[in-house]
Every structure is written in C-alpha cells, then in structure tokens.
Structure 1
Amino acid sequence: MSTSSTATDSGAGSDAQGPKKGNIFARFFLYVRQVIDEMRKVVWPTRNELVQYTIVVVIFLCIVMAYIIGVDEVFKRLVSWLFSE
C-alpha cells in the first residue's frame, strides 16, 4: 500500500513482458530449436499400436458412414413420400 510497492509493481510489469526480442532470424532459429527439443520428448507408437489405432479409426468411420447413409436414405424416402402427391 506504500509508494514503494507501487514502484515495485510497475517495475515487475516491465519485466513480465519478457526478454527483448531478437531479429527475425534469431527468433526463427530459436523456434526451430524448441520444436526439435519438444519432438524428442514425444513417445512414438510402435508399429503394432499404429496398426491397431488405424484399424479402430477405419472401423469407426465405416460405422459413422453407414449411419449417415441410413439417415439420409430415411429422409430421402420421407421427403419423396411427402411431396409425391
């Protein structure tokens, strides 16, 4: 509540903005280096896991596709029946 805390708060605000930005090439290479570091942390699936996940996704997509085709067919017949008279 004193003026010293206000001065400290305003000083902390300028520090909270982060370090000075470098030129565009330095920022780009920093970004690439950080991406590479994060990619090293990724746990990649094994071949068997990848095959299993792919099969599950394909089966799920086939089920959803069949459902949508069924609903579309029902609506098509319903609209055809309603407007055929």
Structure 2
Amino acid sequence: MAATDTDAPARVNQPARAGGRRRTSPLRFYREVVAELRKVVYPSRTELITYVVVVLIFVSVMTAIVASLDFGLTKLVLQIFG
C-alpha cells in the first residue's frame, strides 16, 4: 500500500510564521542590532542644543495657546450659563 497525503501526520497547533521566516538566535539578533546602531548618525552638541531649544519654544507656545483657549472658553461658558 503506497503512502498518500492523508497518511502524513497532521500538523496541529503550529502557528504559521509571518512571511515564512524562521526565528533568529539571540546572538545573531544582538549582532544585527549592534550593526544597525553603528549606522546611526548622532547629532553634534550644537545641533542637539538647537533641537532642544526649538522643542522647548514650541511646547511653550502650544501650552500658552491651549491655556488661553481654555481660559477664554471657560469665561464664555460662565457668561452664558453662569
């Protein structure tokens, strides 16, 4: 009697991998992470200071806008319903 596809053991409870890729070992993963981090271009000190100042100014302006809108809308609601 010849073996057929129905004679093959059923593969149950084996989740399919995304894209059919196999898992890598932790050592290979670590090596790939280190290799990618070597490609990163970090900003200089002056660039970093410039970026920090820009972010702080932007956050301060946005905070002032939101606070003024909150204050103005609160006064408006109190005038209407108060």
Gaps of 5+ in 2: 1-18
In structure 2, give the amino acid aligned to 1:61: V
Counterpart Cα distance in 1 of 2:23 and 2:30: 16
Aligned: 1:77 with 2:71: no
Within a 5 Å distance, the mapping from 1:11-26 to structure 2 comes to 17-18=20-21, 20-21=22-23
In structure 2, give the amino acid aligned to 1:51: I
Aligned: 1:48 with 2:46: yes
How many residue pairs align between the two structures? 64
Counterpart Cα distance in 2 of 1:31 and 1:62: 41
Aligned: 1:67 with 2:65: yes
**Alignment RMSD (CA, Å):** 1.6
- SS for the counterpart of 1:44 is coil
- SS for the counterpart of 2:20 is coil
Please report the TM-score for the alignment, with normalisation by the length of structure 2: 0.70
Counterpart Cα distance in 1 of 2:45 and 2:55: 15
In structure 2, give the amino acid aligned to 1:72: D
Runs of 4+ in 1 over 2 A off after TM superposition: none
Counterpart Cα distance in 1 of 2:38 and 2:67: 43
Please report the TM-score for the alignment, with normalisation by the length of structure 1: 0.68
Counterpart Cα distance in 2 of 1:41 and 1:79: 55
